[in-house]
Amino acid sequence: MNALGTPLGRYKKLLYDSVGSRWYRYVGQRGEMAGIGTAHLVFVVDRGGHVKNLKIIQNTSNETFANICLQSVLEVQMPPIPEEIVSSLPPEGLEEDITFTMFAN
**pLDDT digit string, tens, across residues 76-91:** 999 999 999 999 999 9
The more confident residue out of 105 and 89 is 89
What's the pLDDT tens digit per position in 11-47? 999 999 999 999 999 999 999 999 999 999 999 999 9
pLDDT band at residue 4 using 50, 70 and 90 as cut-offs:
confident
Domains, the chain, ordered by start: 7-102 (3.30.1150.10)
Task: Tell which residue, 63, 60, 61, 58, has the closest CA to residue 97.
Answer: 58
Q: What does the alpha-carbon distance between residue 52 and residue 27 come to, in Å, rounded to a whole number?
A: 23
Question: Taking 90 as the threshold, does the pLDDT of residue 48 lie above it?
Answer: yes
Collapse the DSSP code of 95 into the 3-class scheme (helix H, G, I; strand E, B; otherwise coil) and give the result: strand
Collapse the DSSP code of 94 into the 3-class scheme (helix H, G, I; strand E, B; otherwise coil) and give the result: strand
pLDDT band at residue 2 using 50, 70 and 90 as cut-offs:
low
